[in-house]
């Protein structure tokens, strides 16, 4: 402890620029399953009769998964991880390429037979990318649309072709998820999901832009040859495009609400649309008009799939129901009802895969080759042509009975986190998932330390309350279904504890431990070990790594940087900060170039540098340096109890670290006031009394002595 001067030190009023954040996503024990709603499906049929079929699923947890389908089970054979936000759609093109789009504003291409290799990242869109379309017989054309009103048409072969550029530019694309990426523009994604354009000029391949939408695009569809594209969204109209030029061929009106799903027949003449007005409409593009309307659903239609001959349509949406409708006779039948809204449908032989806002996907019987078999079971009804007719029938109690009660096949997900509370010790987070299970996480290790089962979240929160005050050094959210922990500099470095509080026996008990610094060391331990074994990256004698680039000239200088602890202890990861390797967390961050990326901590190969990681993270982990921190001390006055004759220890204000225990203050008082028997009066006058007046000795009788 030391005294605080009366005059406060001048503070720098100039606010520094917003630094890149680092986020880590905690994975449950079984990360082969989705933990959030499944937004998209794509079926890859076997090239040979004896080969397995594959199902690709894209989820709100930010990942895609490849499932090898057998007769009795499905095995997750690969996880595709690079998107940093929801995966909204995915399509297969050319037999071996998977293309996905995300709310992170990117379109990504993947080798669908790999273990999750992203071959290219495209950053052409300026807002969430919501939908994709591909041509069945032309593996070279893909279209993408999003909330920015943009529709881009991609020549896949040209887009994936190697770029000719300097070695330095090529080096910028090393990162997994951006391997050789043709980056047309770079954007910064902040915590509020606002997108700000940087000044990078387009380079490499640039797609055709279909201009015309003034509002968000939610649905796209393409015919088999890929020369006709249809799009729809919040403008309630369908636009038809020539993919070769990007020119608009026509505009079709009829829906009274957002268009959420589109289908084109193989020739490109007939189009089916599903809307938030609950209607399905059939359009004849040759006649440029709606030829049929089907009032089947009682709420928004979000998903459509057709039989190969385009004679029947399967539809699902917000009303939790899956219907089959004969487009010619208008006969409709309820196949099944779900517990969650239906997001997307995918035909697979005689069955249909159904994705919902739940993390599981199910395959239902559909008789896709001969749908008339379903109608022979009875229970069908005639679809009206006005939306209120279906709603009125539902209100009158004439709700159809579903044909099927149970799916024929299920790929189960795991429950996603829907509620969380940061505990007062600022190391534990209490969560509740959508199955009702309450768990306690230790975020400095990324593990569940207690599973309480289905108990009251509020009561458990009260039980776990501790009367302790630790600065808030991180934030969390559950947008991806798991806990995402966000660290921002310099706030994240504000929390410290003594080593004895963390049961770290290898250090003196009063050594201060910075929680963010030790957490970053634990997260990047694998990366650091790989980096030390890279040629030309040998550690220095003091255990530090030589800088890859000079990053000391960033927004702070060495004179303003605090060096935390001894360099020789820099590399050690203590038990309270050891992250698991069986289900490791994933890092989401962004460096000076390349844009945001995501990767498991065990898959980092040591080549990542300040182009890929925030410079302040590297400065902390490699050089043991922390940025200047505010309010790390607590000021207080130390005075005798009112009415006591005890001498005042000090006349001024004292200052000590916020984490100082009260017993330290007691020891301080004892050192100042209590006399030991072996002291002489001269010693007391010189070192305790410290005044020219006569020494006053106070005494009292201690009870029991």
pLDDT at residue 425 above 80?
yes
pLDDT of residue 260: 98
Structure tokens at 608: 């990542």
Phi, psi for residue 417 in degrees, rounded to 5: -75, 130
Backbone angles phi, psi at 495, to 5 degrees: -105, 130
- Specify the pLDDT at position 30: 81
With cut-offs at 50, 70 and 90, classify the pLDDT of residue 168: very low
| Cα 23 from Cα 143, distance rounded (Å) | 31
Helix residue ranges, H only, 172-248: none
Hey, is 119 helix, strand or coil? strand
> Nearest CA to 150 among 201, 209, 234?
209
| Residues forming a β-bridge with 181 | none
Order of all β-strands in the sheet with 228-233 = 217-222, 228-233, 237-242, 247-253
When pLDDT is cut at 50, 70 and 90, the band that residue 552 belongs to is very low
CA distance 205 to 162: 10
Note the pLDDT of residue 359: 96
For tokens 């093109």, what's the residue? 93
Q: What angle do CA 557, 563, 567 make, to 5 degrees?
A: 125
Higher pLDDT, 182 or 586: 586
Instruction: Tell me if 105 sits within 8 A of 195, measured CB to CB.
Output: yes
Instruction: Tell me how far CA of residue 409 lies from CA of 267, 304, 435, 609, in angstroms.
Output: 33, 20, 21, 45
CA angle 290–90–302, rounded 5-degree value? 40
HEC sequence for 445-500: CCEEEEEEECCCHHHHHHHCCCCCCCCCCCEEECCCCCCEEEECCCHHHHCEEEHH
Q: Which pLDDT belongs to residue 562? A: 54
Element (H, E) at 432: strand 428-433
pLDDT tens digits for range 267-286? 999 999 999 999 999 999 99
Name the token pair of 697. 């000795």
Quote the CA–CA distance of 354 and 63 in Å, as a whole number.
18
Q: What is the mean pLDDT of residues 242-250?
A: 94
Alpha-carbon distance of 416 to 443, in angstroms, equals 17
| Exposure letters 356-376 (e unless 16+ CB within 10 A, then b) | bbbbbbbbbbbbbeebeebbe
Residue linked to tokens 């994936």:
160
What pLDDT is attached to residue 394? 59
pLDDT, position 535: 64
Q: Residue 77's pLDDT is what? A: 95
Give the per-residue pLDDT at 49: 66
Q: What is the pLDDT of residues 445-476, one digit of tens each?
A: 999 999 999 999 999 999 999 988 899 999 99
Most confident range (mean pLDDT) of 30-39, 553-562, 651-660, 686-695 is 30-39
Q: Which of 306-315, 355-364, 509-518, 657-666 comes out lowest in average pLDDT?
A: 657-666
Average pLDDT (534-544) is 44
Q: Is 206 helix (H, G, I), strand (E, B) or coil?
A: coil
More confident residue, 563 or 210: 210
The pLDDT of 50-68, averaged and rounded, is 93
Q: Among 185-189, 246-250, 314-318, whose mean pLDDT is lowest?
A: 185-189
By percentage, how much of the chain surpasses pLDDT 90? 61
Average pLDDT score over the chain: 84
Confidence bin at 551 (pLDDT 50/70/90):
very low
Least confident of 315-329, 358-372, 486-500, 656-670: 656-670
3-state secondary structure of 653: coil
Quick one: average pLDDT of 518-527? Answer: 96
Q: Quick one: pLDDT band at residue 630, thresholds 50, 70, 90?
A: confident
Cα distances from 400 to residues 280, 307, 368, in angstroms, run: 18, 22, 21
Predicted confidence (pLDDT) at residue 387 exceeds the cutoff of 80: no
Rounded Cα–Cα distance for residues 65 and 617 (Å):
30
Q: Is there a contact between 577 and 521 (Cβ–Cβ < 8 Å)?
A: yes
Cβ atoms 312, 324 nearer than 8 A: yes
Least confident of 187-201, 308-322, 681-695: 187-201
What is the Cα–Cα distance from 162 to 181, expressed in whole angstroms? 9
More confident residue, 561 or 291: 291
**61 closest CA partner among 76, 39, 77:** 39
The residue with greater pLDDT, 563 or 124, is: 124
Of the segments 31-35, 171-175, 389-393, 557-561, which one has the largest average pLDDT value? 31-35
The pLDDT assigned to 70 comes to 87
Residue 171: per-residue pLDDT: 40
The pLDDT of residue 14? 40
Rounded-to-integer distance, Cα 328 and Cα 370, Å: 15
Which two structure tokens, joined as six digits, stand for 351?
A: 């069955």
* SS3 state of residue 622: helix
Give the residue ranges of DSSP H helices in 499-650: 515-523, 525-532, 615-623
pLDDT of residue 189: 28
- The pLDDT assigned to 392 comes to 60
Average pLDDT over residues 223-248: 96
570-627 pLDDT per residue, tens: 568 899 999 999 999 999 999 888 789 999 999 999 999 888 999 999 999 999 899 8
């Amino acid at each position: 402890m030391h005294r605080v001067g009366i005059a406060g030190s001048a503070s720098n009023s100039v606010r520094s620029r917003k630094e890149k954040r680092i986020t880590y996503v905690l994975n449950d024990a079984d990360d082969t399953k989705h933990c959030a709603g499944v937004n998209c499906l794509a079926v890859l049929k076997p090239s040979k009769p004896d080969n397995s079929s594959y199902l690709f699923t894209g989820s709100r947890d930010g990942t895609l998964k490849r499932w090898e389908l057998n007769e009795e089970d499905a095995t997750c054979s690969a996880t595709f991880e690079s998107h940093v936000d929801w995966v909204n759609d995915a399509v297969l093109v050319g037999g071996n390429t998977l293309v996905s789009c995300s709310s992170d504003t990117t379109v990504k291409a993947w080798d669908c037979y790999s273990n999750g290799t992203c071959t290219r990242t495209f950053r052409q869109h300026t807002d969430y990318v919501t939908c994709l379309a591909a041509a069945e017989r032309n593996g070279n054309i893909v279209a993408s649309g999003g909330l920015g009103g943009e529709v881009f048409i991609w020549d896949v072969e040209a887009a994936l072709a190697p770029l000719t550029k300097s070695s330095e530019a090529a080096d910028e694309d090393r990162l997994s998820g951006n391997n050789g990426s043709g980056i047309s523009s770079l954007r910064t994604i902040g915590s509020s999901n606002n997108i700000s354009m940087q000044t990078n000029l387009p380079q490499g391949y640039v797609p055709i832009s279909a201009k015309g939408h003034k509002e968000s695009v939610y649905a796209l569809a393409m015919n088999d040859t890929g020369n006709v594209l249809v799009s729809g969204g919040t403008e309630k109209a369908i636009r038809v495009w020539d993919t070769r030029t990007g020119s608009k061929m026509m505009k079709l009106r009829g829906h009274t609400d957002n268009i959420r799903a589109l289908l084109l027949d193989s020739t490109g003449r007939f189009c089916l649309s599903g809307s938030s007005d609950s209607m399905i409409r059939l359009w004849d593009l040759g006649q440029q008009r709606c030829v049929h309307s089907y009032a089947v659903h009682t709420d928004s239609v979000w998903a459509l799939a057709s039989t190969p001959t385009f004679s029947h349509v399967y539809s699902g949406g917000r009303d939790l129901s899956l219907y089959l409708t004969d487009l010619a006779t208008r006969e409709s039948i309820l196949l099944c009802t779900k517990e969650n809204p239906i997001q997307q449908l995918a035909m697979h032989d005689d069955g249909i895969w159904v994705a919902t806002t739940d993390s599981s996907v199910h395959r239902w019987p559909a008789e896709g080759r001969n749908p008339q078999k379903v109608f022979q079971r009875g229970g069908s009804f005639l679809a009206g042509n006005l939306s209120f007719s279906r709603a009125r029938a539902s209100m009158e109690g004439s709700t159809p009975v579903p044909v099927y009660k149970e799916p024929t096949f299920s790929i189960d997900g795991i429950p996603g986190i829907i509620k969380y509370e940061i505990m007062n010790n600022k190391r534990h987070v209490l969560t509740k998932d959508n199955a009702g299970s309450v768990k306690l996480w230790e975020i400095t290790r990324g593990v569940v330390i207690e599973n309480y089962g289905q108990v009251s979240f509020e009561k458990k929160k009260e039980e776990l309350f501790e009367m302790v005050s630790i600065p808030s050094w991180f934030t969390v959210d559950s947008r991806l279904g798991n806990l995402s922990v966000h660290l921002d500099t310099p706030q994240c470095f504000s929390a410290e504890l003594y080593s004895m509080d963390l049961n770290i026996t290898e250090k003196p008990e009063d050594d201060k431990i910075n929680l963010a610094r030790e957490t970053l060391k634990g997260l990047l331990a694998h990366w650091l070990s790989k980096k030390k074994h890279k040629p030309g990256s040998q550690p220095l004698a003091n255990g530090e790594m030589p800088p890859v680039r000079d990053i000391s000239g960033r927004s702070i200088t060495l004179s303003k940087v605090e060096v935390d602890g001894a360099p020789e202890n820099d590399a050690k990861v203590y038990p309270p900060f050891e992250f698991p390797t069986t289900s490791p967390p994933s890092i989401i961050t962004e460096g000076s170039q390349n844009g945001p990326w995501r990767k498991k901590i065990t898959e980092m190969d040591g080549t990542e540098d300040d182009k890929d990681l925030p410079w302040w993270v590297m400065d902390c982990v490699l050089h043991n340096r922390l940025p200047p921190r505010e309010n790390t001390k607590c000021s207080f006055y130390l005075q005798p109890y009112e009415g006591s004759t005890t001498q005042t220890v000090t006349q001024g204000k004292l200052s000590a670290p916020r984490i100082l225990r009260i017993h330290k203050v007691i020891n301080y008082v004892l050192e100042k006031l209590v006399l030991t028997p072996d002291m002489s009066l001269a010693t007391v006058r010189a070192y305790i009394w410290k005044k020219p007046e006569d020494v006053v000795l106070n005494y009292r009788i201690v009870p029991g002595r």
